Structure formats: C-alpha cells, structure tokens
Amino acid sequence: MTGQPSTPRPTSTDPLVIFMPSGKRGHFAVGTPVLTAARQLGVDLDSVCGGRGICSKCQIQPSFGAFSKHGVTSREDALSPFNAVEQRYDDKRGLKAGRRLGCQATIQGDVVIDVPAESQVHKQVVRKAAAVRDIIMDPATRLYVIDVAEPDMHDPTGDLQRIEKALQDQWNIQHISCAPSLFPRLQTVLRKGKWQVTAALHKTAADATPELIDLFADLPETGLYGLAIDLGSTTIAAHLCSLEDGRVIASSGLMNPQIRFGEDLMSRVSYAMMNPAGAAEMTAAVREALSNLAAEIISDGQVDPALVTEATIVCNPVMHHLLLGIDPTELGQAPFALATSDALNLAASDLAFTGMNPRANIYILPCIAGHVGADAAAVALSEEPHKSNELSLIVDVGTNAEILLGDKTRVLACSSPTGPAFEGAQISSGQRAAPGAIERVHIDPDTKEPRFSVIGCDLWSDEDGFAEAIATTGVTGICGSGIIEAVAEMRLAGLVDAAGLIGSPAQTGTARAVPTGRTHEYLIFDGTEANGPRITVTQGDIRAIQLAKSALYAGARLLMDEIGVDHVDRVVLAGAFGAHISPKHAMILGMIPDAPLDKVTSAGNAAGTGARIALCSLSARAEVEALVHRITKVETAIEPRFQEHFVAANAIPHATAPYPHLPPLPQVSFNSGGRDNGGAGRRRRRAK
C-alpha cells in the first residue's frame, strides 16, 4: 500500500495504540501510519484511496490520557504533525476539528484513536421508521483507487493486466474478471486519469471473484448508489440509496403497466396462456417500466447514472418469471413449479435494464415457492420472524398477500390472492397512495358525518385551513388504507351490518347513504361543484374489500392451523408504498386475527425494506438465501380448508373467532331479502 513503510517487527517498547470503540490495541513502530496500524489489527477503518490522502474515508480522532505507562502523551507528541496532504484536504473540503486523516498521521507515541461511525467500513445504518433491524453496510460493489503502471513497449502487457496488477499490489485483490462492455473504456479512462483511477469492483458473494464493472478517471466523492425495487402486481416502488451509508436519496413509484393485460396475477397468467406472444409482451412492458422508473428516480436524485451500479428486486413469482422472460403458465396450475427459485445475479443488460450503469448488477432475491415469492423472502429478511420469541404473524398486503407465521423454532409462509382492492384498485373511487388520496377516515357514530385526511396534508378535512392546504392537489380519490378505514368506520357507525350490507337512509338515518339501483353507497366527499370527484364507498367496494380480507384472513388462519394455534402473539402489517393500515380498523374488518392492539404494528413496505437491506449488504443476501430453505411453504390454492376459512371469514368482522380486543360493534342488519344478500352468498351463486 502506498505510504506503508517497511518497519521492523514492533516490540512492547514501541508506542501503544488503542482503537475505539473496538478496543483493539497493539504496539507499533514510530512512523507507522494510523491506517496501517488499523489494518494490521483488523480495525474497521474505511479507505477507498488506499492511503493516498484523496478519499478522506479514514478520518480518525486522536484522544489522550493517562493510560500510557510512559505517562501522559501530549497531543503534539502522539501523532505526526498535520501535514500538507491533510492541509490541502482541509482547505478544499474541510476537516472537522480534531480530525486527522488516518493514512497521513503517523504514530509517534502512545495514543487512543477514536474511529467515528462514518469512518467505519461496516457502518450501522439505523432505520428511522419501524426500526426492527439495523442495516450493517456491506455492499457488493466497492471503489478502489489504484495507480496503474504505464505501458512499456519492451515489456508489453495490456492495460487491463496492469490494472489487475495494481489491484493485487495495492489492495491484495488477487484475481478479477472484467465486464466485456468495459473494454472500450479502459484506455481512455486510464489516460484521462493519468494512470491513477478508481476501480468499481462487484462481488456476488464475500468469497466470489470480483468483477471490474467500471473505471473512473477521478474518485467519485459521493460513492456509489443502488436501487431497491419492489416490483408488485399493481405498483412498482423504488428507492435510490447510497451504497456508502444506505441513505435513501430519492424514492418513486409507478403503476405496473402489465395491468392492461390483467388486474391480478391469475389474469396475467391467463393472458400468457391465451396469447402466443402474451408473456413476451408483459416482459417487455415491465422491463421498460423498470428502465423508465430508474431513469426518473436517478434524475430526481441528481445522481450520475454511471454511479448507480446495483439494483435489488423483490417480487412475487409471476412478476419474477415475467421479468426474466419466462412464461408464467406453469405457475397457474398445480404443482405451481418455478423455473428457477434461487437468488439471481444478473447483468442489467440481461433484463434490458437501462437508465443506470450499463454494467450494474441486478440481484433478485430468492423465491420460496410457486406462490410465495421473493417479496415474501424480503419480508422475512426485514421482519426476522425466525429471530423472534413471540409467534409473529406478518402480513404483506398487496394484490397478492404474502403471509409469514413463525418464531425462533419454525417459520411458515403462504400467499393469498387478495386482489388489488387493498391497493385502491377495483374500488369505485380508488387510486394508488399519492398526494390527494384519502388515507384516513373517521365517521361520527351519531351524526354519521365523515371527516378525512389526504396524503400530502397534515390537517383533517374538518380543520381550519384544510381547503387551502389541499388547493394544489385537491381530493382525488381514496387509497388502500383509506378504503379500509372507511369500511371499518362505516361498520363502527352502524352504516354497514356484519354481512357487509350498506343500510338505506331510513335504516341508517343519514342522507349520505345514497340509493344506487338495488344497493346504496356512502358519500364521503362531493367535489362536483368545483368540478372535482364525488367520492363514495359503494356496495361493490365493500364486496371487494370483503373478498380481499377474507382471502387474507383465510391464509393466516391456514398457517395457524398448520402450527395448531388459535391466536398469535403479535401481528405485523406491511404493504407496498408504505400504506399505513390502522391496526384497529384492520381488526374491525376482520382482516387479521384478534390480538392486543398494542401488538398489532405497521411495518411499512417490508418487502421494499428487504430489498433495501439486500442492496446494502452481501451478508444479508447470504442470510436470506439460507433462510428461504428453512421456511415451510403452505400451498393455499389446493387446500380445501382455505376455501372453508375464506367463506367463513366473509362477515365484518368474521364470525369464526372472537375478537375480545375489539369494542362492541353495532348490532344492525340491513338484509332485505331481495337485495344484495352478502358476499359469500353471491360468491356461491357465481360458482354455479
């Protein structure tokens, strides 16, 4: 390594150096750079430039005290004086008071060296929301500054071979491969960088041979970036994250364009079965959407696309196959065989994925089974049921719900076809969670009058200034969490009975229950005077929510049957787009089994978080790859008990299990015989 002197073996008479917070210590010869001492002791001190005083990653803070047997060491004696390289860096970028560059400061006497968190390679990133677990940075792609030998006519070797030699000599990286599409860039970058360049090396695993995926003439000071992508049936969400510290730089989402081929998974499988080029059309659509989303989010984050060298993708099995160009037909029929289930490392070009570095690596998390995908694996990685003493039920609400149930001793998984209602699709006034969407609803049990809040505004609709606050977005529709609250509140207010029927104005005593043909709808917001929407909850909306929540409950119940329990210790609600479902309302609906309300928590987009964890950490990838093999898969599609639970769970809340943790609900019944007689009955008629 540059600047590393060849020193004689140190003895106990040499200065003592103690690194904090690790406490690692050793004696080093006078003149040893702090970075060198840290490396020899295995202290977690970062360096991208390898001690050239360029990257400033190795900042340390010396401190002094009476620990030395030689007595107190003064600040002046312990380390070499501030040198020209440090001064240049301080002038250019500013160095915090007391900080030194570990590669420049050399040991002169006994000293305690504090390694600040940001100088550690394996930084711990504390998640702000729902901090179930921390992420320890261990990214697959890293930067290395190297000095490459200039070509010598009399000892001819290729530029690439001299790059390899530099990585061997300067970073002890013995062998690399090189992405072929990088060949054309090598010469120009080396010459532009005057033979000092920064190599980006990607590894698929801790012990894998690194691949050279890019070369930069200068050190990219911001470090590298990656995309964590949650590819859902209805929505696609992505976070652009720093690979230095896991920070989210920008987030964005869009509707899955495959919706035009079918709202839910089985419709898309059918489309592939019925149309010879159907699967290929859907593959092209989702790949194009991913490229567009990447370009948009990278532009939003004002990041150089060349620095985005990683992406991780979580998705259900049908999305997984369509993304990979595999016909999903096999997933539509028993035995629901996946073409491939293990985690995948692909080149961006394998997926025609543009918008970022063309040699970026795409990591797709492993699938668990034909109906339990990489999204469920990601939820498991994020929520860690396998490390819990409590029996945890984790429900990832999407067009297909991923359900995990388990504790330290075992984890079970299944998926349940809830349909897109929870995401606001197939709901009369539904929309995806975006500014303007109603996300919270409260209905006064006496007046039956609603109040609500919309995404992008902190005020409730009956608070002063609401109209002004939403002037730009308006009230545009109702999102998934909004419709769940609306239906639950309608049940609480006695507007809806246990069978899911909306009462008439006479039965409910409010004109907001508006007759529409043979049924009624409940008016939440009428914006028609200002040419805005009229937002209601229709009888059809309630039926859609009933079908969705019955499917969800039936899946959870099936896993409980497998383990042989009637209750769970805690429930975690997760869902795409971080839609925060209210635990109380979810329980009123009967989406989930009964649990103490303080044991029902919302985890935001756990699948997306799993994608982000995998993006930041190779060891997390190894963990999820091992974990999926330990999860027991339960197949709902062919299980007769699933149908039984599904039918029995139609009531609001369902009638098969008590809900001791809920308040008593109004004893109303609006069934008038001739009208809608309930989802379950309707469903049976349909089946004839």
Distance CA 102, CA 602 (A): 43
Per-residue contact string for residues 180-199; x = within reach of its own copies by CB under 8 A: xx-xx-xxx-----------
Which one, 113 or 160, has the nearer CB to its own copies?
Answer: 160
Among positions 252-311, residues that touch its own copies (CB under 8 A) are none
The candidate with the shortest Cα–Cα distance to 513, out of 537, 529, 533, is 537
Among positions 152-181, residues that touch its own copies (CB under 8 A) are 152-154, 156-161, 178, 180-181
- Give the Cα-Cα-Cα angle 229, 457, 490 (nearest 5 degrees): 90
Size of the site for its own copies (CB under 8 A): 44
The two structure tokens encoding residue 535: 């937002």
Q: Looking up tokens 């210590």, which residue turns up?
A: 25
Which one, 114 or 330, has the nearer CB to its own copies?
Answer: 330
Exposed / middle / buried, residue 77 (Cβ in 10 Å: 0-12, 13-18, 19+) = middle
In the complex, minimum distance from the CB of residue 158 to its own copies, in angstroms, rounded to a whole number: 3
Helix (H), strand (E), coil (C) string for 596-655:
CHHHEEEEECHHHHHHHHHHHEHHHHHHHHHHHHHCEECCCCCCHHHHHHHHHCCCCCCC
Query: Out of 132, 266, 339, 657, which residue is the one contacting its own copies (CB under 8 A)?
Result: 339
Query: Out of 67, 195, 336, 460, which residue is the one contacting its own copies (CB under 8 A)?
Result: 336
Q: Decide if residue 21 touches its own copies (CB under 8 A).
A: no
In the complex, minimum distance from the CB of residue 103 to its own copies, in angstroms, rounded to a whole number: 30
From 28-36, 61-69, 217-225, 366-374, span contacting its own copies (CB under 8 A): 366-374
In the complex, minimum distance from the CB of residue 402 to its own copies, in angstroms, rounded to a whole number: 15
Q: Decide if residue 337 touches its own copies (CB under 8 A).
A: yes
Distance CA 110, CA 78 (A): 6
Q: Decide if residue 384 touches its own copies (CB under 8 A).
A: no
Q: Looking up tokens 């060198």, which residue turns up?
A: 36
Query: Out of 325, 505, 509, 681, which residue is the one contacting its own copies (CB under 8 A)?
Result: 325
Radius of gyration of the chain (CA): 30
Query: Out of 326, 356, 379, 397, which residue is the one contacting its own copies (CB under 8 A)?
Result: 326
Q: Output DSSP code: residue 10.
A: P
From 123-131, 234-242, 328-336, 551-559, span contacting its own copies (CB under 8 A): 328-336
Q: Decide if residue 505 touches its own copies (CB under 8 A).
A: no
The two structure tokens encoding residue 663: 């308040």
Helix (H), strand (E), coil (C) string for 302-350:
CCCHHHEEEEEEEECHHHHHHHHCCCHHHHHCCCCCCCCCCCEEEEHHH
Q: Decide if residue 327 touches its own copies (CB under 8 A).
A: yes
From 32-40, 327-335, 456-464, 664-672, span contacting its own copies (CB under 8 A): 327-335
Which one, 249 or 339, has the nearer CB to its own copies?
Answer: 339
Query: Out of 367, 414, 558, 586, which residue is the one contacting its own copies (CB under 8 A)?
Result: 367
- Give the Cα-Cα-Cα angle 552, 525, 510 (nearest 5 degrees): 90
From 34-42, 68-76, 83-91, 631-639, span contacting its own copies (CB under 8 A): 631-639
Helix or strand or coil: residue 277? coil
Give 158-189 as a DSSP string.
Answer: -HHHHHHHHHHHHH-----EE-GGGHHHHHHH
In the complex, minimum distance from the CB of residue 637 to its own copies, in angstroms, rounded to a whole number: 9
Which one, 109 or 210, has the nearer CB to its own copies?
Answer: 210
Q: Decide if residue 410 touches its own copies (CB under 8 A).
A: no
Q: Decide if residue 324 touches its own copies (CB under 8 A).
A: yes
Q: Decide if residue 14 touches its own copies (CB under 8 A).
A: no
Which one, 237 or 365, has the nearer CB to its own copies?
Answer: 365
Strands 570-575 and 437-443: unpaired
Which one, 126 or 334, has the nearer CB to its own copies?
Answer: 334
Q: Decide if residue 370 touches its own copies (CB under 8 A).
A: yes
From 37-45, 305-313, 336-344, 543-551, span contacting its own copies (CB under 8 A): 336-344
Is residue 675 a contact partner of residue 682, using CB atoms and an 8 Å limit? no
How many helices (H) and strands (E) in the chain?
18, 29
Which one, 413 or 478, has the nearer CB to its own copies?
Answer: 413
Which one, 349 or 601, has the nearer CB to its own copies?
Answer: 349
Among positions 636-655, residues that touch its own copies (CB under 8 A) are 638
From 27-35, 222-230, 235-243, 630-638, span contacting its own copies (CB under 8 A): 630-638
In the complex, minimum distance from the CB of residue 371 to its own copies, in angstroms, rounded to a whole number: 8
Q: Decide if residue 350 touches its own copies (CB under 8 A).
A: yes
Q: Looking up tokens 């388990």, which residue turns up?
A: 406
Long-range own/partner contacts, residues 203-210 (CB < 8 A, 24 or more apart): 203/140, 203/141, 203/618, 204/140, 204/345, 204/361, 205/618, 205/621, 205/622, 206/618, 206/619, 206/622, 209/175, 209/176, 209/177, 210/173, 210/176, 210/177
Strands 392-397 and 570-575: parallel
Distance CA 618, CA 246 (A): 13
Q: Decide if residue 338 touches its own copies (CB under 8 A).
A: yes
In the complex, minimum distance from the CB of residue 344 to its own copies, in angstroms, rounded to a whole number: 7
> First vs last Cα of the chain: how many Å apart?
77
The two structure tokens encoding residue 99: 């900080």
Helix or strand or coil: residue 454? strand
From 165-173, 329-337, 473-481, 572-580, span contacting its own copies (CB under 8 A): 329-337
From 14-22, 193-201, 322-330, 605-613, span contacting its own copies (CB under 8 A): 322-330
Query: Out of 45, 259, 314, 369, which residue is the one contacting its own copies (CB under 8 A)?
Result: 369
Give the interface with its own copies as residue ranges (CB under 8 A).
Answer: 150-154, 156-161, 178, 180-181, 183-184, 186-188, 324-327, 330, 334-342, 344, 346-347, 350, 367-370, 633, 635, 638
